[in-house]
C-alpha cells in the first residue's frame, strides 16, 4: 500500500518535508481551502514546492464548504457548478485527480425529508452536475460515507455504493474510511464485494479518537488491509486522516509511528 497524510495545506511545508523524509508517498488536503483562503500565487508556490521535493498531491477531501448545499431547497446547481469550476481552475497546478466528497454539512438533509427522495436527488446531482465537471478536469469522484454523528445521509459504504450504482459512471466511485466504518459498526468483510468500485481509502484510529494510527492502539489495521486486497483495491492509496494540526515534534513522532506500523501490513 502507498501511504499519504491528509490535512496538509500551504503553510505546512515543514510538515510535508518531514513526511517526505519519513517515506510517505503523497499528501491530501481540503479542496474548499483553495477556493477563498489562498490566492493563486500562494497555490502556485505550493505546487512548486511539492514538485521540488517530489511529493505528489493526488487527492482532495473537504470538497464543499458547508454553505454550499447539495440536497434540498437550498441546493443551487448554478452555485455548485461555479464553485467547482473556480476551485478546479485554481488548483490545476496541484494535479490531484481524486476528489473525495464527504462534506457532511453541505449534504445534510432536513430531518423531515424523504430519505429515498434525497438519495435520488443526490444521485442526480452527482450524475448531471458534478461528474461532468470532474470529467472535464480529468478527475474522479470518491463518495465518502460519514458516520451517523456527522451526517444523516450516505453513512455506510453500502449507502455510498447505492449512489455509485445509481449514477453508473466510471468517474463516480466509493471511498472507504476505517474510522467511519468502525464508528458505525460496519462489517469490513462486506467490502470485498466492491471490486472495481473503491477509488480511495482513509484511515485513522477509532479507539484513539481519530488520531494517527499507532501500534497497540486497539485497532486491527491488518484485517482492514487484508480486506482491501481481497477487494482488489487497485490504487492502493491510503490517506491518514489524523491530527495533522498538532505541533511539529508531535507530528513527526506520530507520522513515524504510523508509517512503521502501516507500511509493513
Number of domains in the chain: 1
Rounded Cα distance, 51 and 260, in Å: 25
- Spell out a b/e string for 175-201, using b for 16 or more CB atoms within 10 Å of the CB, else e: bbbbbbbbbbebebeebeebeebbbbb
Q: Judge whether 172 and 135 are in contact, CB under 8 Å.
A: no
For residue 184, give its domain range. 2-263
Q: Residue-wise pLDDT tens for the chain (265 aa)?
A: 999 999 999 999 999 999 999 999 999 999 999 999 999 999 999 999 999 999 999 999 999 999 999 999 999 999 999 999 999 999 999 999 999 999 999 999 998 999 999 999 999 999 999 999 999 999 999 999 999 999 999 999 999 999 999 999 999 999 999 999 999 999 999 999 999 999 999 999 999 999 999 999 999 999 999 999 999 999 999 999 999 999 999 999 999 999 999 999 9
> What is the average pLDDT score of the chain?
97
Which positions ≥6 away from 93 have C-beta within 8 Å? 43, 44, 47
Q: What is the CATH number of the domain that holds 248?
A: 3.20.20.150
Q: Judge whether 219 and 213 are in contact, CB under 8 Å.
A: yes
Look up residue 98 and give its three cell numbers: 481524486
Which pTM does this prediction carry?
Answer: 0.97
Which positions ≥6 away from 192 have C-beta within 8 Å? 227, 230, 231
Give me the helix-helix angle, 13-22 and 40-53, nearest 10°. Answer: 20
Look up residue 6 and give its three cell numbers: 491528509
| pLDDT tens digits, one per residue of 61-89 | 999 999 999 999 999 999 999 999 999 99
What letter would DSSP give residue 79?
Answer: H
Amino acid at each position: 500500500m502507498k501511504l499519504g497524510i491528509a490535512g496538509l495545506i500551504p503553510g505546512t511545508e515543514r510538515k510535508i518535508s518531514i513526511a517526505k523524509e519519513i517515506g510517505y508517498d503523497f499528501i491530501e488536503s481540503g479542496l474548499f481551502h483553495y477556493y477563498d483562503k489562498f490566492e493563486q500565487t500562494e497555490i502556485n508556490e505550493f505546487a512548486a514546492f511539492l514538485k521540488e521535493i517530489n511529493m505528489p498531491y493526488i487527492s482532495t477531501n473537504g470538497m464543499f464548504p458547508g454553505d454550499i448545499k447539495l440536497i434540498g431547497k437550498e441546493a443551487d446547481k448554478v452555485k455548485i457548478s461555479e464553485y467547482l469550476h473556480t476551485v478546479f481552475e485554481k488548483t490545476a497546478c496541484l494535479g490531484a485527480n481524486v476528489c473525495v466528497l464527504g462534506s457532511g454539512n453541505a449534504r445534510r438533509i432536513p430531518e423531515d425529508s424523504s430519505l429515498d427522495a434525497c438519495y435520488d436527488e443526490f444521485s442526480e446531482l452527482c450524475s448531471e452536475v458534478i461528474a461532468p465537471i470532474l470529467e472535464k478536469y480529468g478527475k474522479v469522484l470518491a463518495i465518502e460515507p460519514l458516520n451517523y454523528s456527522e451526517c444523516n445521509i450516505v453513512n455506510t459504504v453500502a449507502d455510498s455504493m447505492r449512489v455509485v450504482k445509481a449514477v453508473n459512471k466510471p468517474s463516480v466511485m466509493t471511498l472507504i474510511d476505517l474510522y467511519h466504518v468502525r464508528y458505525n459498526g460496519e462489517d469490513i468483510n462486506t467490502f470485498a464485494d466492491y471490486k472495481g468500485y473503491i477509488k480511495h481509502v482513509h484511515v485513522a484510529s477509532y479507539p484513539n479518537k481519530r488520531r494517527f494510527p499507532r501500534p497497540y492502539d486497539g485497532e486491527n489495521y491488518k484485517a482492514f488491509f487484508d480486506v482491501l486486497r481481497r477487494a482488489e483495491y487497485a490504487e492502493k492509496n491510503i490517506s491518514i486522516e489524523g491530527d495533522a494540526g498538532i505541533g511539529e515534534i508531535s507530528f513527526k513522532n506520530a507520522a513515524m509511528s504510523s508509517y512503521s506500523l502501516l507500511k509493513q501490513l
